[in-house]
Structure 1
């Protein structure tokens, strides 16, 4: 491959990565400061409380990740919280079980789900953060 073809291939790859990011919601670890900033700005946030040993969490993960890739949820930030190491955070959000998802819109809780592994149920919760 010559230098021009290599540069074209690299540019095409970079463009495809950037365009996929523009239509995907962000998934990141929970940060109280960022959570507060997003809520103050009126943004959509979904908290995802998981544990590595939780079989329900393992069922939820690919469903939630696929939903977050959809253009409809590009403005939603999904923040993950580890159930085992984040007890003070869980207490603040009144979470007593792993596999809990909580939707926020503009700083207000608009929905909560515990143990749901259905794509339609998980999508309905994420939609509450958008609408």
Structure 2
């Protein structure tokens, strides 16, 4: 009986702790020009990830971006995924010519971009330009 009560108490504590923790999973949004403009008008730190489902570099970037944007310094970033195959208007508007492009904004000001980068350190440096 004591063991069951202890296990139940531990499970309850774990559940309460999990609920109380801020979400570590960043919400990635599908690129939308109006949504981007709204976030820019609000002065947010923004990352646009030009990606394609067939792109191995994009696939390598995703877990790096997920990990970085879960860190306290970058947790407030708004991340938009712009599909390279279907987002032609967005690519033109942002002057993005390649998948695996990372474009960073602080409000409506572009602070940096990179193409094909899969190094966490240099991506973190890029994100810091919008803090």
Give the TM-score of the pair, scaled to structure 1.
0.84
Structure 1 contact 49–83 (Cα < 8 Å) conserved: yes
Which has the greater radius of gyration?
Answer: 2
Is 2:71 the counterpart of 1:70? yes
Change (3 A) 1:40 1:56: same
What is the rounded CA distance, in whole Å, between the counterparts of 1:92 and 1:66 in structure 2?
28
Q: Return 5+ residue gaps in structure 2 as ranges.
A: none
Q: Is the 8 A contact 2:40 2:106 kept in 1?
A: yes
Q: State TM-score, norm by structure 2.
A: 0.84
Distance 2:18 2:120 in 1: 27
RMSD over aligned Cα atoms? 2.2
- Structure 1 contact 50–81 (Cα < 8 Å) conserved: yes
Distance 2:111 2:37 in 1: 16
TM-superposed CA distance for 1:19, in Å, is 2.2
Q: Which aligned runs of 4 or more in structure 1 are off by greater than 6 angstroms?
A: none
- Alpha-carbon deviations, 1:55-76, whole Å to 9, x = none? 1111111111110111111211
Secondary structure of residue in 2 paired with 1:20: coil
How many residues align? The count is 125
Q: Tell me the equivalent position of 1:116.
A: 117
